[in-house]
Structure 1
Amino acid sequence: MARRSKNQAKRNGNQGTPGWVWLLGGLVGGAVIVLFLLMRNGGDVGQLLPKPDPEARAPVVTDEPVAQDAPEPRKPKYDFYDVLRDKEVVIPDAELNAQAQAEAQAPATEDPAPAASGVRYLIQAGAFRSSSDAEALKARIALTGELARVESAQIEGGTIYRVRLGPYPNAASLAAAKRALGNHGIEALAIRAE
């Protein structure tokens, strides 16, 4: 059997009030307060509870639509819509597909090389204010088997980092590359640069 040291005996000696006395005192004090409140209200517990309002009215239902705040317009995912507007033209999907079909039906003797016409076909997968975001998209594109690059440009006093693929020799190869990115969940824009 373990012996208690003299210090412990002194610490727990007759100097303090035991914990069970404090607990019992708290319970008795709480019971006295509850009895006092019940006696003050004539013993009716219902008077302590909230009372219903007899004059309350239900809201009126109307057929008129309730005016709601207009949702905030969606912010564009990328900042490149207004970038270099004079030198680059975004090619809509319908126009790109029509141009690719026209190239496929053209005679093989024609040379649709972009060097002769001065037109370059590019894909822009995104434009970001942060180079780390651009590098992350470039890495995601690399997992699809495509080769992308990050180009920086000064726009309105700030640097923008664009993720681009290409140049492609014609609209058909551009459309195929854009479809491949779309199949992997990467939205991109076809661009004709002159």
Structure 2
Amino acid sequence: MMARKGKHQARRNGSRGIPGWAMLLLGLLAGLLIAAVYLLRDDWGEDHPSLPRPDPEARPPAAAAREEVAPEPRRTKYDFYDVLREREVVIPDAELDAQARAETATPPPPGSAEPPAEAQVRYLLQAGAFRSAADAEALKARIALTGEVARVESAQIEGGMIHRVRLGPYPNAAALARAKQALAGHGIEAIAIKAR
């Protein structure tokens, strides 16, 4: 039978060898060194063709530069107050203010039997006109937060559908001017319209 060995013989490497973690660390460092040399090499072999290096002082020919610069096609500008000109008239701000002052200065006579010619005129505010119904509804909701009531009117214009956000009708130019100022106070531009 074999003799029993002591506890000291169980260790094979003892303190004479290099620990495993040190060997792993040396292997990683060697791999990184090889990768760095491979990436930093300039012209070692023909594996990768060299990229062309542009001349920083080179200028394009003058004729080629002129040919490339072409004017952009002119886009049609659509102003929402150009819609239905024959039935609706935009009231400029100065005229609206003057008309509102004239109405407040001379109130209509009480009990007048015949309505004036201006009674057939409707005063409206148009806050916007959009190709998208969603954009019109968004503006209508924004106006509702100011306390005013708006509506979206759809119309067929120039072969496409247009959605207009309108307020009114207002009884006179003074009421129209007050509503326009209230919208402007909330950052909403609107135009005054006189519709027949």
TM-score by length of structure 2 reads: 0.61
Determine whether 1:98 maps to 2:107: no
Distance 1:93 1:27, change over 3 A: closer
Displacement of 1:105 in angstroms is 1.3
Where does residue 175 of structure 1 map in the other structure?
A: 177
1:120-162 per-position Cα deviation (integer Å, ceiling 9, x unaligned): 0000000000000000000000000000000000001100000
Cα deviation, residue 106, structure 1 = 1.3
Counterpart pick for 1:143 among 126, 138, 145: 145
Aligned residue number for residue 60 of structure 1: none
Larger Rg: 2
Distance in 2, Cα, partners of 1:97 & 1:184: 19
SS of corresponding position for 1:152: strand
Question: Per-residue deviation at 1:29?
Answer: 6.9
CA deviation string 1:86-132 (max 9, x = no partner): 10000001100100111111144166967863100000000000000
Partner of 2:47: none
Letter in 2 for 1:172: A
Amino acid at match of 1:22: G
Q: Tell whether the 8 Å contact from 1:114 to 1:120 is kept in structure 2 after alignment.
A: no
Answering whether residue 129 of structure 2 is matched by residue 127 of structure 1, we say yes
Contact 1:122-1:192 at 8 Å conserved across structures:
yes
Aligned identity (percent) is: 66
Moved over 3 A (4+): 18-31, 73-76, 110-117
Determine the structure 2 residue equivalent to 1:83. 83
- Given the superposition, is the C-alpha separation of residues 30 and 184 from structure 1 closer, same or farther in structure 2, using an over 3 Å criterion? closer
The CA distance in 2 between the partners of 1:165 and 1:140, in whole Å, is 13
Partner letter of residue 23 of structure 1? Answer: L
CA distance in 2, matches of 1:152, 1:90: 19
Aligned equivalents of 1:140, 1:104: Cα separation in 2? 30
> For residues 89 and 135 of structure 2, what CA distance do their matches in structure 1 show?
24
**Does 2:119 align with 1:117?**
yes
CA RMSD of aligned residues (A): 3.7
TM-score, L = length of structure 1: 0.62
CA contact (8 A) 1:113 1:170 kept: no
Q: Aligned partner of 2:81: which letter? A: Y
Residues 154 and 19 of structure 1: CA distance in aligned 2, closer, same or farther (over 3 Å): same
Aligned length: 146
Q: What is the aligned partner in structure 2 of residue 22 from structure 1?
A: 31
Q: Which runs of 5+ in 1 are unaligned?
A: 1-17, 35-52, 54-72
